[in-house]
């Protein structure tokens, strides 16, 4: 979800631009530094979310995300938060804080299949993919806001693209797992079947529809590496007609990311991006490999499928 303060940001940017030009410099982009990520685990009010809180805290999930995002050079701190949202399964960025609701995390756990999928997506990755995707999507909003990045098109689509681009920086195996996991997370929100009936006002949403978001992330991935994601087209998850132009879509995204975001990345720290993820994900993946009621599942995940 985009920040409610976007208008304020535009006003601030305008004021800054005016101030800077008055001072004789045209550069209104704020300067930043790396290691600006903070985190907070807010204890849940709803006992149904206690296990998610415990599991994330014990697994140091936010600490790992903090390390992963540390290369971002931001002008001021960005706080990652998990918290209860009074029954609303959502996530948003506002006032320098990313908030991901336990209700949304519970929904992701509930949506996970009981077993690995025959199409080559593990159960754990159907959870890890959407969770990483939502944190990176909200980080996209934060980066656009804090660094006053100009956006053509809809900010929600831009945040999705930001997330996809970062997932593709994880190295081939992990990138594939997270992209497919994220696409699963969008697809599961659609009614099954090739034809769906929806109220016409869902098309007015500021986000693209879940099926579009799934196609979009798969297209960016296929555009980035058509060998690694060849089966996505062969199996019909991404229609051939769309796939033909995906390399151009990825090119556009790469141009925007390297031009607009690249200068705000600490290159030395960013070199460890994949290593940080690979080092920290395996434990979580093992814990999420089975549903909570399966022998061998850890007690901490007992509630995982609980309703918000």
Q: What are the residues binding Zn ion (CB under 5 A)?
A: 1, 156, 159
**Cβ proximity to Zn ion, 137 vs 176, nearer residue:** 137
Q: How far is the CB of 156 from Zn ion (least distance, A)?
A: 5
At its nearest, how many Å lie between Zn ion and the CB of residue 137?
5
| Maximal CA-CA distance, the chain | 68
CB of residue 212 to Zn ion, shortest distance in Å: 14
* Residue 291 CB, nearest approach to Zn ion (Å): 29
Give me the least distance between CB of 45 and Zn ion, in Å please. 24
DSSP codes joined into one string, 95-138: TTEEEEEHHHHHHHHHHS-SS-BTTTB-HHHHHHHHHHHHHHHH
Residue nearest to Zn ion (CB): 1
Q: Least CB distance from residue 154 to Zn ion, whole Å?
A: 10
Q: How far is CA 230 from CA 169, 211, 224, 227, 258, in A?
A: 18, 19, 11, 5, 25
Compare residues 1 and 190 and give the one whose CB is closer to Zn ion.
1
Classify the phi-psi angles of 133: left when phi > 0, otherwise alpha if psi is within -120 to 50, otherwise beta: alpha
Q: Which is nearer to Zn ion, 52 or 159 (CB)?
A: 159
DSSP per-residue letters across 229-262: THHHHHTTSS-HHHHTTHHHHHHHHHHHIIIIIG
Pick between residue 145 and residue 176 the one whose CB is nearest to Zn ion.
145
Measured from the CB of residue 83, what is the shortest distance to Zn ion in angstroms? 17
Give the tokens for residue 112.
Answer: 């996970």
HSE-CB for 207 with a 13 A CA cutoff:
18
Alpha helices (H) along the chain: 6-22, 50-58, 61-69, 102-111, 123-146, 155-167, 172-187, 210-224, 230-234, 240-243, 246-256, 267-270, 273-287
Query: Whose Cβ is closer to Zn ion: residue 106's or residue 134's?
Result: 134
* CA dist., res. 219 & res. 90, Å (int): 25
Residue 181: Cβ within 10 Å count: 26
Identity of the residue, 100 or 276, whose beta carbon is nearer to Zn ion in the bound complex: 100
State how far the Cα of 98 lies from the Cα of 142, in Å rounded to an integer.
Answer: 8
């Amino acid at each position: 979800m985009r920040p409610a303060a976007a208008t304020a940001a535009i006003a601030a940017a305008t004021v800054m631009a005016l101030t800077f030009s008055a001072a004789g410099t045209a550069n209104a982009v704020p300067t930043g530094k790396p290691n600006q990520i903070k985190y907070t685990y807010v204890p849940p009010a709803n006992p149904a979310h206690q296990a998610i809180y415990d599991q994330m805290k014990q697994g140091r999930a936010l600490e790992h995300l903090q390390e992963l995002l540390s290369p971002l050079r931001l002008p001021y701190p960005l706080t990652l938060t998990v918290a209860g949202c009074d029954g609303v399964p959502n996530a948003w960025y506002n006032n320098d804080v990313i908030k991901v609701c336990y209700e949304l995390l519970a929904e992701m756990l509930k949506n996970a299949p009981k077993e690995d999928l025959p199409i080559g997506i593990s159960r754990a990755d159907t959870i890890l993919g959407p969770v990483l995707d939502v944190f990176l999507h909200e980080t996209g909003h934060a980066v656009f806001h804090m660094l006053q990045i100009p956006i053509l098109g809809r900010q929600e689509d831009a945040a999705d693209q930001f997330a996809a681009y970062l997932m593709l920086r994880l190295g081939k195996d992990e990138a594939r797992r997270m992209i497919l996991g994220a696409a699963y997370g969008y697809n599961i929100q659609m009614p099954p079947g090739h034809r769906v009936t929806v109220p016409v006002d869902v098309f007015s949403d500021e986000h693209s529809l879940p099926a579009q978001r799934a196609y979009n992330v798969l297209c960016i991935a296929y555009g980035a590496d058509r060998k690694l994601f060849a089966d996505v087209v062969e199996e019909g998850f991404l229609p051939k007609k769309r796939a033909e132009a995906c390399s151009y879509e990825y090119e556009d995204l790469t141009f925007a990311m390297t031009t607009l975001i690249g200068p705000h990345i600490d290159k030395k720290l960013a070199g460890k991006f994949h290593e940080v993820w690979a080092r920290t994900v395996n434990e979580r993946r093992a814990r999420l490999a089975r549903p909570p009621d399966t022998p061998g599942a850890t007690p901490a995940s007992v509630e995982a499928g609980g309703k918000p």
